[in-house]
Copies of this chain bind each other. A is one copy, B any other.
Amino acid sequence: MMHLTQSRSAVTQRVDVPSPLRETWLNHSPCLSYSERQALEAVAVPAKRVQPHTDLLREGKRADHLFVITEGWACRYVMSRDGCRQLSALLLPGDIVNLDALSLTWQAYGVRMLTQASVVALPREQVLMLSAQHSGIAQTLLRTSLIENGTLSKWALCLGRLSAKERLAHLICELAVRIRAVDGKSVSFDFPLTQETLADALGLTPVHVNRMVRELRAEGLVEDAHRTITLPDVAALRRMASFDASYLHVNVHTSRVSN
């Protein structure tokens, strides 16, 4: 089984030229043929460097490019009238930043960089043309959007029905899976989120996030230092957050998730 998938990916990755989308959603879709991959690569604008704490996109503006993160973290966010911020997505390497630019005329959210990052741009019009010509591309874009919907539904469940500590644990579990760090009992990975950013993702105050982080630390479920987080017992953390990774639809072939 493992041999099979490995040889398959060896075949699909016979490109030696620099491939900006290699580690990307657009490249891991099960519905994408080799030629469709190449067509997408062909219209990609080479990666651009973006500074932390800057807005890649602003709410209400029109974007004529699709962006894909190849390195670094970002988030989608919206502001409420009284200045509160709520994140609607955390964007990790491989993620598409603004799929909706394809079909909607203005961004419903801003996108802020959380670390220094690299992004690849795909001209909107060209992607539209490609997706009209290649049904695999259209299917991939739809699939990506559907998976994002699933993630957002899960966030709604967390925001609406989980306690602060469970929410925090759940988010950490999600990130561990998405960053493909999960492969054993214990796990550690780069974690650039400030407690304030976590608060904006979880619908909490920074102060309370702090208290919950310390509780998780006290219970031995997380350790953190220097922007790195360690989960000594992933299974226990998952249990306390009632986390089930299936909603993420991570491609098991390209990660080391055991489950």
Q: Mark A225-259, 1 if CB is under 8 A from B, else 0.
A: 00000000000000000100011010000000000
A40 contacts B by Cβ under 8 Å: no
Q: How many copies does the complex hold?
A: 2
- Expressed in whole angstroms, the Cα–Cα distance for A40 and B203 within the complex equals 41
Q: Mark A69-106, 1 if CB is under 8 A from B, else 0.
A: 00000001010110011101100000000011011101
A142 touches B109 (CB 8 A): no
The residue on B at minimum CB distance from A146 is B100
A156 touches B86 (CB 8 A): yes
A43 contacts B by Cβ under 8 Å: no
- Expressed in whole angstroms, the Cα–Cα distance for A132 and B36 within the complex equals 14
How near does chain B come to A171, taking the closest CB pair, in angstroms? 12
A88 touches B161 (CB 8 A): no
The residue on B at minimum CB distance from A242 is B81
User: How many residues of A sit at the interface, in one of the four size bands?
Assistant: 35 or more
A33 contacts B by Cβ under 8 Å: no
Chain B residues in 8 Å Cβ range of A154? 78, 108
Interface centre among A138, A156, A160, A202 (most CB of B within 10 A): A160
- Expressed in whole angstroms, the Cα–Cα distance for A29 and B43 within the complex equals 27
Q: List residues 29-46 of chain A with CB under 8 A from any CB of chain B.
A: 31
Interface centre among A133, A138, A142 (most CB of B within 10 A): A142
- Expressed in whole angstroms, the Cα–Cα distance for A145 and B133 within the complex equals 20
B143 touches A138 (CB 8 A): no
B152 touches A76 (CB 8 A): no
A102 touches B146 (CB 8 A): yes
Chain B residues in 8 Å Cβ range of A89? 153
A149 touches B145 (CB 8 A): yes
How near does chain B come to A170, taking the closest CB pair, in angstroms? 10
Q: List residues 142-194 of chain A with CB under 8 A from any CB of chain B.
A: 142-143, 145-150, 152-157, 159-162
Of the candidates B84, B150, B156, the one whose C-beta lies within 8 Å of that of A159 is B156
Q: List residues 97-128 of chain A with CB under 8 A from any CB of chain B.
A: 99-100, 102-104, 106, 108-109, 128
Please name 9 further chain A to chain B contacts, defined as beta carbons within 8 Å, in addition to the given A103-B146, A131-B139, sorted by A numbering. Answer: A80-B161, A86-B160, A88-B153, A100-B146, A104-B143, A108-B246, A131-B138, A142-B145, A160-B202
Q: List 22 A-B contacts (CB under 8 A).
A: A78-B154, A78-B157, A81-B242, A85-B161, A86-B156, A86-B157, A88-B152, A103-B139, A103-B143, A104-B143, A104-B249, A106-B246, A108-B153, A109-B153, A131-B139, A135-B138, A141-B142, A145-B145, A145-B146, A155-B156, A159-B160, A160-B202
